Chain A
Amino acid sequence: MDYQLNELQQMLQQSAEKYIERDYDFLTRQSRAASDLGYSQQQWQQFAELGWLGLPFNEEDGGFGGGAGEIMVLMEAFGRGLVLEPYLASIVLSGQLFARLGNTEQKADLLPKLIDGSCKLALAHSEPGSRYELERVQSKADSNDASYLLSGQKSVVLNGNDADYYLISARTGGAGDIDAEGISLFLVAADSPGLTVRGYRTADGLQAADLTFEQLEVAESALLGEPGNAFEAIEWCFDQGIAALSAEALGCMEILHQTTVEYLQTRKQFDTPIGKFQVLQHAAVDMFIALSQSRSMVYLAADRADSARDQRRAALSAAKNFIGRAGRLMGQSATQLHGGVGMSDELNVSHYFKRLTTINTWLGDDNHHLAQYSDSLL
């Protein structure tokens, strides 16, 4: 039993934290967020140079063979910096899913561009009616000679307004709309005729899009993996995403906790630092307790991300539920303890709060994962 980071992870952690300190102060982050692109392509190139974009891919695919533990330390640092670049969307979710399902030819074609930063992906799975249910897919892919015709809608696709390619899930079979069987995955270029992308910013300053497609024709070679057989991989990649998001949340929580304690030490009211008041001390301790346990759950999530399915799903749901609740406590408490200034857009606190709130929603909120975990107890 060992909860210590290994050497590789420690090195990665040091370089990522150094990068955030040097290149990702809050004001710079805010100006990048306000730009047209919403993040910095230059920083994305730097991610590529640092080897981060190739981190989770196999060495024969040009990657570094890292796992969930390595992604964890990177994402924790990204959380500390409120990083805007689409690492979760393009690498953790779509990149890993693509690498898992794609054949040699497909991978040889796309992965090098993904790893060198010249191409970005987005995962288009959730739909207006599906909420967090992964099995519910209404979009259809009808086989048509040597091609497929895709029709349907995808909602709130992370980094959807900027991707070069989408991974779109659509039904080629199965019994009705809710069935793990019969879900296929397609690689679709963003400029495909018949695809409408409606992009927007999300509440945390990141970006997403809704996709609509009607009789969108893709070649048979756009199919990733066996027809009707993508569900298991989609579920797996959601779990990778949960582990990564949880680590990002941990980074956000660290900053909120640190900032709040510093504020309590320096802000004076009634002629004394407000941190001398017991009621505020205990609220800060509740934050510390949530933070400390969140770290443990983030480690657990990374450790179980490649376990056998049932064990993996239960552990990841437990982690996502816990992180969701802890993140809410951290965000709300940090705002409350900062008083009026905690409400202002100028201070970083409100932005960490918003990110923690959206992280709870992404990939299933605390209620959804409570139900998932609860059912696993049966």
Chain B
Amino acid sequence: MQLDFTPEEEAFRLEVREFIEAEYPQPLRDKMNAGAAPNKQDYVTWQQILHRKGWIAPRWPEQYGGTGWSPTQSYIFDEEISAAQTPRVMPFGLTMLGPVLLSFGSEDQKQQYLPAILDSTTWWCQGYSEPDAGSDLASLKTQAVDKGDHYLVNGSKIWTTYAHYADKMFCLVRTSSEGRKQQGISFVLLDMNDPGVEVAPIITNNGLHTVNQVFLKDVKVPKENLVGEEGAGWTIAKYLLGHERTVIAGVAASKQQMKRLKTIAEQETQQGQPLWQDNRFRDRVAEVSIDLLALEQTNMRVLSDESAGRGPGPEASLLKIRGTEIQQMITELLAEAVGYYGLPYHKEVLLSGWGETEPVGPDYAAPLLPHYFDWRKSSIYGGSNEIQKNIIAKAVLGL
């Protein structure tokens, strides 16, 4: 056992840190530090900076643009970009579709789509959930009828993050209603500009527009846009979820938020002294901090097992469960820390920060309560935490 990072790993950390310090554009940095939500251009700007350095797809094979990093290096990289509070790299193309195409896609599909994922010229969105298929994803009804050289797709997808930014969507559709419901599902790619695709915004509890309902009416999807075999969609979806879970623990981002919580609690006052001096408040932070440490150590242990050739199995679901629970606790403590000044609602500040305007209350306060509301989504998306527990119960405990 050697739980600390090696000198080589620490040198790598420094390299990443220096790169971010040099390349992270100041205006974007200011906006992100103010807690504002990045827009499409912000995401693309940062992703293209990483792409130029060759660091946009750490977990891809090197021949397709990956970095060849060890799991530990990828983890260190995540820690550093989280600590710098850059926009997060949108997962849809890079951590979801990319690995799927690499494992299941045809050579043509790889040639056609991977380069534009790497340089962020195509924005992908994920067409999984439907109004009547959430946790029970396999009961999805969007129908793809075989019309010879194409499928005719009808149905609706919901909770589609940034569908209004997207150029394309990867999508689970039903190509057969025979046999088990998992067997009739296929994985297809469609163009958001195709006739029959309509995007309707859904405003969430923070007042912002991030997710959508997507209506698909007689959309023609050419057969060459089928990924893998017809009927292999469920296998692909499960593969993809496995990829997502270790990333979703979000340890590095939570560590960053804990630092922010301390900074804010040192500035807030209670009974004439910094809130951070208040033992009742700080003890609650301490408990979350210990839970985060336990999660971090578990995440590292999973990475170490992975390096030793014992890849993360379904037990990695626990990283998603605990990761999101801890993230939510931190958003709650952050909102609580600012007291009354958590209450004023300024939508424009959520989008672009205070800028030249005189802030109402401390400049850090406005986004905290909306963020708390918004982050309840984390235990729902990516397979709700209850579904994750079902997975562990079945696949690990044999219940």
Interface residues of A (CB under 8 A from B): 1-6, 9, 69, 261, 264-265, 275-276, 278, 280-282, 284-286, 288-289, 292-297, 299-300, 302-303, 318, 321-322, 370-371, 373-374, 377-378
Contacts and interface: CB of A to CB of B under 8 A. Distances in A.
Contacts of B72: 1
Contacts of B318: 288-289, 292-293
A278 B308 CA distance: 34
Interface string B19-43: 0000000000000000000000000
Interface SS majority for chain A: helix
B1 A371 contact: no
A370 B286 contact: yes
B393 A293 contact: no
B301 interface: yes
| Size class of the B contact interface (CB-based, 8 Å) | 35 or more
Interface string B266-301: 000000000011010011011101110111011011
B1 A69 contact: yes
Contact of B290 (A9, A286, A303, A321): A321
A377 B3 contact: no
B326 to A, nearest CB: 11
A2 to B, nearest CB: 4
A118 B12 CA distance: 53
Contacts of A294: 294
Contact of B1 (A276, A281, A292, A302): A302
A292 B298 contact: yes
B1 A2 contact: yes
Interface stretch (B46-54, B91-99, B146-154, B384-392): B384-392
A377 B290 CA distance: 11
Contacts of A276: 399
B5 A1 contact: yes
A1 B298 contact: no
Interface string B321-346: 11000000000000000000000000
A374 B283 contact: yes
Contacts of A371: 279, 283
A288 B317 CA distance: 11
B392 A285 contact: yes
16 contacts: A1-B2, A1-B304, A3-B305, A261-B399, A265-B399, A281-B390, A284-B393, A288-B318, A289-B322, A297-B294, A297-B297, A299-B1, A303-B3, A318-B293, A370-B290, A371-B279
Given A3-B300, A288-B392, 14 more contacts: A1-B2, A2-B1, A2-B3, A3-B301, A278-B390, A280-B399, A284-B393, A285-B393, A300-B3, A303-B1, A303-B4, A322-B291, A377-B262, A378-B282
A4 B308 contact: yes
A107 B399 CA distance: 54
Nearest to B294: A293
